[in-house]
A and B are shown apart, each in its own frame.
Chain A
Amino acid sequence: MTLTLTRRRGVETAPPARRAGQRGADIRAGYTFLLPWLLGFILLAVGPMLSSLYLSFTDYNLFEAPTWIGLENYTDLFADDRFLQSVQVTLSYVVFGTPLKLAAALAVALLLNNATQGQGFYRSAFYAPSLIGASVSIAIVWKAMFGDDGPVDQGLGFFGIHLGGWVGNPSMTMPMMILLTVWQFGAPMVIFLAGLKQIPTELYEAASMDGAGPWRKFVNITFPMLSPVVFFNLLLETIHAFQIFASAYIISNGEGGPAGSTLFYTLYLYLRGFSDFRMGYASAMAWLLVIVVGVITLLFFRTSKSWVHYGGDAR
């Protein structure tokens, strides 16, 4: 009671008018400092997004004013063979590429976590590809490596496997693209490694006392303890995989070939907008992608309750 009174009196000692003025000034100062970012966000992100939402309901060829056509772009999509192909190509990339990449990242993180020497060096070495992997030059190198008589062809030939160039073979371009993304496992690996370091060693010690082997420890300790990090990486890499563009553009000369095998969603969107001048259609594709990725993210969050364990959970 005394305490409350003191507090209240303390409050009243400051003149109310000055406090309100001070608060308003703080808010204004806050927004002023925020202004550069806020302006950028509104002008460069929100504005264009809203205008693309509008354009997705129009017929817009970049030159003439857009004309409203309602949902026609969205309904046209499903009668477009090339669109359906791009969905199929992108989904197989996401479904096969992302788990493989995460598995590779986790495997290497586990190995590095046990390393006693040179961990810093190996961590940097494995991380490097994910910094440069999305670059134009790597895509060009990749194209050369997987061409006829390229290092990959020759290497496999040494083991008696003769596949020829992967770049020109429609059934081998997807494995090639997946290898390119798996090779960039460095970023999720570093996050996994940080997560592994957080797991208390007592748990492993206790498990050893009970006679648990490495596999048992992984299944019952490492993976559950790491599950928030796995969830984070899975979410991020899935969204990332949907957005693949630059490497596919370079490797297929911007065409999505051979025979449409690298016609990724974003590449087709780009071709529709900037080669065919159908910006309305391309905008509809972009919004459909936003919606689909949003729904997938939501599903991930829903299912996460059953397999992701946060510290302090009763489970």
Chain B
Amino acid sequence: MISRRSFLTTVALGAGSAVALSACGGGGSSAGQTGSAGNPVTINYTWWGNDDRAERTRKAIALFESKNPDIKVNGNFTDFAGYWQKRATEAAGGGLPDVMQWDLSYLRDYAQRNQLMDLGQLRIDTSGFEKTLLPSGQIRGRQYGIPTSTNAFAVYYDPAKLAEIGVAEPGGTWTYSEYKAWLAEVGTKGGGRYFGSTDFTGIWWQFTIWLRQRGIEAFTEDGKLGFSKDDLKQWWSLAGDLRGTGAIVPADRAVQLKPKSPFGSNVSASENTWDNFMAGYLKDSGAKELKLVPVPSDDADDLGLFLKPTMLMVASAKTKFKDAAGRFIDFMVNDPEVGQIFKTSRGVPASKTQREGTTFEGADKAVVDYETSIAKYLKDAPEPPIVGFGTLEAAFLRVNEELNYGKQTVDSAVDQWFKEAEDVIKQNS
């Protein structure tokens, strides 16, 4: 009786582990497992974004599958914040999806820890890419990410709102004091209905650009901070006289609008961010037209601007389907029809073949025109940020928010951020 029971248990356990073992097998060749039209392989692809991007991505996947009957793509998406928490758990369990949309902020974290594949070993055509852009997907000389598209930093404004309250549109070049005076004017004439902008000193990339205008890189080559406490003090003090006035959206309003931005919610007349936010802002705010001008600079010849990969395509170091992953990435970054599907919602296509195969109209054209107009000011993209950058950027935003709530002085805020930043750098070095 008992022996039969234990016998059955043993059989059941044995059968279970046999299944598990067979699932682990397979692969091995340099191209990994490959499929055929009758028996396609399935790769997993994941991205972050809103419904708009999901719809476009599904179209692109369907197109890829029709052109490559031996590969099926299983798509999956979440919002940006949840995205990285999910990837972290997957990486810990050794189960990252085969192909992923990636952000520059996290490239070093995962590449340096051997989670991403060196894409140099796959057949991906990079001949259509600007030579200055590719290094931003490289860590220690290896290409871990291929940029899908580029974006540049800009000041967005809504001409209709400005006309409504009788404020002139910005001219195109401005110093910080001109910019601040303009924000103050919007605040005064907006009379509580419209504020000038979100506190621009809380945006990490805007800070980076300001540093670059002064010849400072945010991070040194050996992964330390390239700026001093005094630099940050100066930066956060820059908006000191605007906080608490109509020039800047009050913190309690901004907090309640999350995850939407005050600009997308029609609370502010302008916002500083990446130019590929156009489609999202138009959808959120319902505005007819939004315009872009370069960020302010006290040196009219040096705007500190650069093209950054909006997002990158990466593959898991552990994927069993190298060949399929490579072909899918190549398709997503180079195919002109993919460009037609995404337009500028991922930024301006990085590959020449894709860019030239795409027709840009209306808002998409405004984004492309903006990047063309600033071409003469563009410098090399900065290196992929240091390990733990996500934490630093979040802390930057949070400490600045506390500044806006009046919970901190500039001095204590700077001390707090430096303390957290040094802790992160120490942890990851």
Question: A residues engaging B (CB < 8 A)?
Answer: 25, 28, 32, 59, 61-64, 81, 147-148, 164-165, 167-170, 253-255, 257-260, 274-279
In the complex, the answer to whether A170 meets B407 with C-beta atoms within 8 Å is yes
Pairwise interchain contact B91-A62, C-beta atoms closer than 8 A = yes
Type the 1/0 row for B399-429, where 1 means its CB is closer than 8 Å to any CB of A: 0011001010000000010010000100110
Pull 22 A–B residue pairs with CB atoms less than 8 Å apart, ordered by A.
A61-B113, A61-B428, A62-B89, A63-B114, A63-B115, A148-B256, A164-B252, A165-B256, A167-B256, A168-B255, A170-B405, A254-B82, A255-B394, A257-B255, A258-B252, A259-B401, A275-B84, A275-B391, A275-B394, A276-B388, A278-B427, A279-B92
Distance (whole angstroms) from the CB of B3 to the closest CB of chain A = 11
Contact with A along B1-37 (1 / 0, CB 8 A): 1100100000000000000000000000000000000
| Given A255-B394, A275-B85, A275-B394, 11 new contacts (CB under 8 A) | A61-B113, A62-B92, A63-B91, A63-B114, A64-B113, A81-B419, A253-B81, A257-B255, A258-B255, A277-B88, A277-B109
Chain A residues, Cβ within 8 Å of B382:
none
With both chains docked as a complex, state the minimum distance between the C-beta of B237 and any C-beta of chain A, in angstroms: 20
Q: A259-B405, A274-B88, A276-B391 are in contact. Are A253 and B253 (CB under 8 A)?
A: no
Using Cβ atoms and an 8 Å threshold, which residues of chain B touch A274? 85, 88-89
The answer on a CB contact under 8 Å between B88 and A28 is: no
CB of B113 within 8 A of CB of A167, answer: no
User: Quick one: given A28-B2, A32-B5, A64-B113, are A168 and B402 in contact (CB under 8 Å)?
Assistant: no
Give the nearest-CB partner of B86 in chain A: A274
Contacts of A278 in B (CB 8 A): 427
Do the beta carbons of B258 and A253 come within 8 Å of each other? yes
Specify which chain A residues have a CB less than 8 angstroms from the CB of B229 in the assembled complex. none
Q: Name B252's closest neighbour in chain A (CB-CB).
A: A168
B113 to A63, Cβ gap below 8 A?
yes
Interface residue B123 (Cβ < 8 Å from any Cβ of A)? no
Residue of A nearest to B2 (CB): A28
A258–B92 touching, CB < 8 Å = no
Q: How far is the CB of B208 from chain A (nearest CB, A)?
A: 21
Interface check B240, CB cutoff 8 A: no
- Residue B159 at the chain A interface, CB threshold 8 Å: no
Known contacts A168-B251, A168-B256; decide if A258 and B401 are in contact (CB<8 Å). yes
Q: Give the complex CA separation of A59 and B428 in angstroms.
A: 10
Interface centre among A62, A165, A278 (most CB of B within 10 A): A62
| Interface size of B in residues (CB-CB distance below 8 Å) | 38
Task: Compute how far the CA of A278 lies from the CA of B391 in the bound complex, rounded to whole angstroms.
Answer: 11
Pick the residue among A62, A255, A258 that contacts B88 (CB under 8 A).
A62
Q: Does B362 contact A (CB under 8 A)?
A: no
Q: What's the dominant secondary structure at chain B's contact region?
A: helix
Chain B 73-90 near chain A by CB (<8 Å), digits 1 or 0: 000000001101100110
Residues of B within 8 A of A (CB): 1-2, 5, 81-82, 84-85, 88-89, 91-92, 109-110, 113-115, 251-256, 258-259, 388, 390-391, 394, 398, 401-402, 405, 407, 416, 419, 424, 427-428
Contact A255 to B113, CB < 8 A, known contacts A63-B92, A169-B252: no
| Chain B residue with Cβ nearest A147 | B256
Task: Write out the residue numbers on chain B whose beta carbons fall within 8 Å of the beta carbon of A25.
Answer: 1-2
Q: Is there an interface contact between B5 and A81, defined as CB atoms closer than 8 Å?
A: no
Judge whether A81 and B81 touch: CB under 8 Å: no
On chain A, the residues within 8 Å of B91 by CB distance are 62-63
B419 / chain A contacts, CB cutoff of 8 Å: 81
CB closest residue in chain A, given B109: A277
- Asked if A260 meets B402 with Cβ closer than 8 Å, knowing A63-B113, A276-B388, the reply is yes
User: CB-nearest residue of chain B relative to A32?
Assistant: B5
Residues of chain A within 8 A (CB-CB) of B82 are 254
CA distance A28 to B254 in the complex (A): 63
Q: Give Cα distance in the complex from A147 to B388, angstroms.
A: 33
Contact partners of A259 in chain B: CB under 8 A = 251, 401-402, 405, 407
- The 3 tightest CB contacts between A and B, nearest first, are A168-B252, A63-B113, A62-B92
Question: What is the CA–CA distance of A100 and B196 in the complex, to the nearest angstrom?
Answer: 43
CB-CB under 8 A from A28, the residues of chain B are 2
Bound complex: CA A170 to CA B405 (Å): 8
Q: Find the A residue at minimum CB distance from B390.
A: A275
For the complex, give the distance between the alpha carbons of A260 and B110 in Å.
Answer: 29
A254 to B407, CA, bound (A): 20
Q: Chain B residues near A59 (CB, 8 Å)?
A: 427
A257–B5 CB distance below 8 A: no
CB distance from A132 to the nearest CB of B (A): 23
Contacts of B401 in A (CB 8 A): 257-259
Q: Among the interface residues A28, A276, A278, which one has the most CB atoms of the partner chain B within 10 A? A: A276
In the complex, residue of chain A having the shortest beta-carbon distance to the beta carbon of B113? A63
Point out the residues of chain B lying under 8 angstroms from A275, CB to CB.
84-85, 390-391, 394
- The CA of A254 and the CA of B85, in the complex, are separated in Å by 11
B391's nearest neighbour on chain A, judged by CB, is A276
Tell me, in angstroms, the Cα distance from A61 to B252 when the chains sit together: 34
Which residues does chain B contribute within 8 Å of A253, judged by CB atoms?
A: 81, 258-259
- B251: chain A residues within 8 A (beta carbon): 168, 258-259
Q: For A147, list chain B residues within 8 Å (CB).
A: 256
Contacts of B394 in A (CB 8 A): 255, 275
Q: A274-B88, A277-B88 are in contact. Are A168 and B81 (CB under 8 A)?
A: no
Residues of B within 8 A of A64 (CB): 113
* Residue in contact with B253 in the complex, picked from A32, A168, A170, CB distance below 8 Å: A168
CB distance from A284 to the nearest CB of B (A): 14
Query: In the docked arrangement, what's the CA distance between A170 and B84, Å?
Result: 27
* B252 lies within 8 A of A165 (CB): yes
* Distance (whole angstroms) from the CB of A90 to the closest CB of chain B: 18
Chain A residues in 8 Å Cβ range of B110: 63
Write the nearest CB–CB distance from B261 to chain A, whole angstroms.
Answer: 13
* Min CB gap B253→A, angstroms: 6
- Please, which residues of chain A bring their CB within 8 A of the CB of B89? 62, 274
What is the bound-complex CA distance between A61 and B428, given in angstroms?
A: 9
